[in-house]
Amino acid sequence: MKEYPPLWVACVPLVLLVALIACVVGVFGDDALSGASQIALLTASAVCVGIGLSTRRITWADFEKAIAEKIAGIGQAVFILLFIGALGGAWMVSGIVPTLICYGMEIMHPQWFLVSSCIICAIVSVMTGSSWTTVATIGVALMGIGHAMGYHEGWIAGAVISGAYFGDKISPLSDTTVLASSTVGTPLFEHIRYMMYTTVPTLTVTLLIFTAKGLTHQAADVQQIRMVQEALDGTFLLSPWLLLVPAVTFLLILRRVPALAVLFIATLMGVAVAVSVQGSLLDHIAGDAAEGVAQRFRGAMILVYGSTGIDTGVEELNELVATRGMAGMMGTIWLILCATLFGAAMTVTRMVDSIMHAIIKMVRGTVSMVAGTAFTGIFLNVVSADQYLSIILTSNIFQAVYKDNGYESRLLSRTCEDSATVTSVLIPWNTCGMTQSSVLGVSTLMYAPYCFFCYLSPLMTILAAALGYRIYRR
C-alpha cells in the first residue's frame, strides 16, 4: 500500500482549483460553467497527476484505470441528464408545463408561493424518492409560476431544491437514503426515524424563512400575471387533459419504474401530445426545410434534441418557454467529465486519503467527530464531484472511529445524510449541482444562498451533537 502524500502536498491541487474557480467566477460570472470552469478542473487535475508521477506514487496506467472506473460510475447520470433535456423540450412545447403554470397561478397565492413550493416539492420527493425527477417536472413549472409572480429566480430555485432534497434525504424510496443506511449497517427505517430529530427542525426553519420572505414580497401586478396567462393561452392549446401525462409519469415513479425508463416514457408522451395538439408550433420549430408530415416529424425531433424558440408576444416569457433539449445538456456533461477526471486524480494519488487522515486525527469528542464527518461529506462532494461516492467514502472513513468510541451506527448514517446528501447540489461542478442548474436554468452560485435546507442541515447535526440531544453510546 503506497503511503499518503504529505498534507501540504495533498492540498495543492485543491487550493489551486479553488483559486482558479474564484478567478473564473470573477471574470466570467454566470458564464463560468460554459468552459472556463472545465479548464480550471483540467488544470488542477494535471497538477495532481504531475505530482503523483513525479513522486512515483502512481504510474500513468494507474491514472487511466482510475479514470475508467470513475467514468463507468457516472454513465447512468449522463443519460439521465440527456433524457431530462429531452423531457424539458417535450413537456414545454406540448403545452404540459404551460398548463401547469397557468393553473398554478390561479391556485397559489403570491405571498405563500415560496413556502407552498417547498412543501409541494417535499411531498412529491418523499413519495417518489427522487429529487432529480421532482425538480425536472414540478420544479420547472414552479419556476414559471414564481417568475410570473415577480420572484427572483434564486429564491424560487432555492425553495424547489430545499423541498426536493428533503424528500431525497428521508424517503425510503430514495437511493441515497438506502445507500447511507446500508453502507454502515443501520436498518433503513431506524435510520429514517433518527434523521427526523435534525431534519424536521431544519425544514421548519427553512419554511419559516420562506414564509417571512413571502409575506414581505411585493407581488407582481395582477395585470402582469393576467398578461402572462393570456400569452400562454394564446400560444399553446391548454387543457386539463394535458395533465394526464404528469399524472401517468407520477404513477410510474411510484411503481418504482427505473428513472431512465420513466424519463423516456414521459418524453414520448410529451412528443405524442405535441404532435397531436400543438401541430402549428411544431411546424414553426421545423421551419421551411420540409413540408407536410416531414415538417411535423422534423419539428418533433428538434424539440427533443435541439433548441426551440417560441414567440409568445411577451419578451420575458419567451425566455421561460425556450428549451434546449438534449444538446443543451452537453455543457453540463462536459463539466461532469472534467470533474470526474479531477476526482480520479485526487483518489488515485491518495491525496484524498491524506486529507481525510488529517481530519480523523483531530477527532477529540462527540462534537468534533460529528463535525469532522459533516465536513468530510462536504469536502468529498467538492473533490469527488459525486454524491454517492461522497456518502460511501465518508461512511467507510469514519465507521471504525464511531465503533471504537462506542457510538451507534445510526449517528454516522444520519450525519452522512445531513452533509453529503444535501450539500451536493450546492457545488457547481458536482453532478447534482450541475444537473439542477441546467434543469432550472439558474446558476448554482445564484440559487445556493437560498437553499436554506441544504446548508442548515450540517449545522443542525453539529448543534444536536453539541447539545447531546439523542446521542447515545452502546
Residue 316 has a pLDDT of: 66
What type of residue is 70? K
Which residues are 308's β-sheet partners? Answer: 323
Of 37-51, 73-87, 431-445, the one with minimum mean pLDDT is 73-87
| Residue 1: per-residue pLDDT | 45
The pLDDT, as a whole number, for residue 176 is 83
Q: What is the mean pLDDT of the segment spanning 370-380?
A: 90
**pLDDT tens string 296-317:** 899 889 989 988 888 877 776 7
Average pLDDT in the 200-226 region? 85
Widest pairwise Cα distance in the chain: 74
Nearest to 129, CA basis, from 176, 83, 193 = 176
Q: Name, in order, each residue with C-beta under 8 angstroms of 135's C-beta and a sequence gap of 6 or more.
A: 121, 160, 161, 164, 436, 439, 440
User: C-alpha grid cell for residue 248?
Assistant: 401517468
The number of angstroms, rounded, from the C-alpha of 367 to the middle of its chain's C-alpha atoms is: 29
Mean pLDDT lowest for which of 14-18, 73-77, 170-174?
A: 73-77
Whole-Å CA distances, 166 to 103, 422, 430, 448, 462:
25, 8, 18, 15, 18
Return the C-alpha cell found at 408.
Answer: 451507534
pLDDT band at 19 (very low <50, low <70, confident <90, very high): confident
Residue among 220, 273, 267, 249 nearest 99 (CA) = 273
Average pLDDT over residues 331-360: 82
Q: What is the pLDDT of residues 170-191, one digit of tens each?
A: 887 677 888 888 878 888 888 8
Yes or no: say if 184 and 201 are a contact pair by the CB < 8 Å rule. no
Higher pLDDT, 253 or 371: 371
Q: What is the mean pLDDT of residues 125-134?
A: 78
- Listed in sequence order, the DSSP H helices in 236-314 are 244-254, 259-277, 279-286, 292-305
pTM: 0.75
pLDDT at 256 over 90: no
> In one letter, which amino acid is 332?
T
Provide the 3-class DSSP secondary structure of residue 100.
helix
CB under 8 Å to 171, separation ≥6 — which residues?
A: 125, 126, 127, 128, 129, 177
Instruction: Give 71 or 268, the one with higher predicted confidence.
Output: 268
Mean pLDDT, range 292-298, rounded to an integer: 85
Q: What is the pLDDT of residue 46?
A: 94
Average of pLDDT values for 451-463? 95
Write the pLDDT tens digit of every residue in 376-431.
899 888 877 778 878 877 887 788 788 888 888 899 999 999 999 999 999 987 88
Cα 94 to Cα 87: distance, rounded to the nearest angstrom: 10
**pLDDT, mean of residues 1-28:** 82
User: What is the residue-averaged pLDDT of the chain?
Assistant: 85
pLDDT at 213: 93
Cα separation of 125 and 113, whole Å? 18
Question: Which triple of cell numbers denotes residue 135?
Answer: 425538480
Asked if residue 424 lies in contact with residue 387, where contact means CB atoms within 8 angstroms, the answer is yes
Using DSSP, state whether 106 is helix, strand or coil.
helix
Grid coordinates in use for 360? Answer: 480523523
